[in-house]
């Protein structure tokens, strides 16, 4: 996955001091890189019998949609509060300072659905575990969580204990 690492740009102190932001826009702009990233996750989930791929707003959407198409599954958006127009369920989660929330349409997944959750970066894992809870509250099964980038030093994998997790690029240090 060296090809992918070279296409991920470090932006220090964005969006706030102390954060090393992993900018995936060079990867998105590179046809080969984009194909490798999407293709690796498609292969990983090829035999998972997934019926839906849920993308987490907003960069998760970019990867989740082509993965869904390749898996012959549907796409479901998991969004920040107030963005989805129909009936939603909401789940709150803690940030370092304060709380945040994610929402999913109440009818977006059904009991019996097998759902892959996709985001660009796994940091503390709060976002991914919240997405998984939303899917499970609607009675569906979480097949796994797939991300391009895992920031190992923030411990997200531990937080997702019990869920299958794949990342394409890992960083041990900021």
* CA dist 139 → 12, 115, 121 (Å): 40, 11, 26
Based on the residue annotation, tell me whether 164 is a catalytic residue of this protein.
Answer: no
Using the rule CB under 6 A, is 125 a contact of ligand AMP? Answer: yes
Based on the residue annotation, tell me whether 96 is a catalytic residue of this protein.
Answer: yes
Sole binder of ligand AMP in the list 27, 66, 78, 127 (CB under 6 A) = 127
Cα 88 to its chain centre, rounded Å, is 19
Helices (H) and strands (E) in the chain, counts: 6, 9
Annotated catalytic residue within 9, 46, 57, 59: 59
CA 73, CA 97: separation in Å to the nearest integer? Answer: 36
Contact 148, 37 (CB under 8 A): yes
Segment contacting ligand AMP by CB under 6 A, of 29-37, 72-80, 81-89, 123-131? 123-131
Segment contacting ligand AMP by CB under 6 A, of 35-43, 46-54, 71-79, 115-123? 115-123
DSSP 164: -
Query: Which of 72, 99 has the CB closer to ligand AMP?
Result: 99
- List contacts with ligand AMP (CB under 6 A): 19-22, 56, 59, 119-128, 151, 156
Task: Write out the catalytic residue numbers.
Answer: 59, 96
């Amino acid at each position: 996955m060296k090809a992918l690492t070279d296409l991920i740009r470090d932006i220090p102190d964005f969006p706030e001091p102390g954060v090393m932001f992993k900018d995936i826009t060079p990867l998105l702009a590179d046809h080969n890189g984009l194909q490798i990233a999407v293709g690796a996750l498609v292969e990983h989930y090829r035999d998972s019998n997934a019926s839906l791929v849920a993308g987490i707003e907003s960069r998760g959407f970019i990867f989740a949609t082509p993965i869904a198409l390749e898996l012959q599954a549907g796409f479901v958006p998991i969004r920040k509060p107030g963005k989805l127009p129909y009936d939603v369920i909401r789940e709150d989660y803690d940030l370092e300072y304060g709380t945040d929330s994610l929402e999913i349409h109440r009818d977006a997944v059904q009991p019996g659905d097998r759902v892959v959750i996709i985001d660009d970066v796994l940091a503390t894992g709060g976002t991914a575990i919240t997405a998984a809870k939303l899917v499970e509250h609607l009675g569906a099964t979480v097949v796994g969580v797939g991300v391009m980038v895992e920031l190992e030093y923030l411990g997200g994998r531990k937080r997702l204990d019990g869920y299958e997790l794949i990342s394409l690029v890992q960083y041990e240090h900021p």
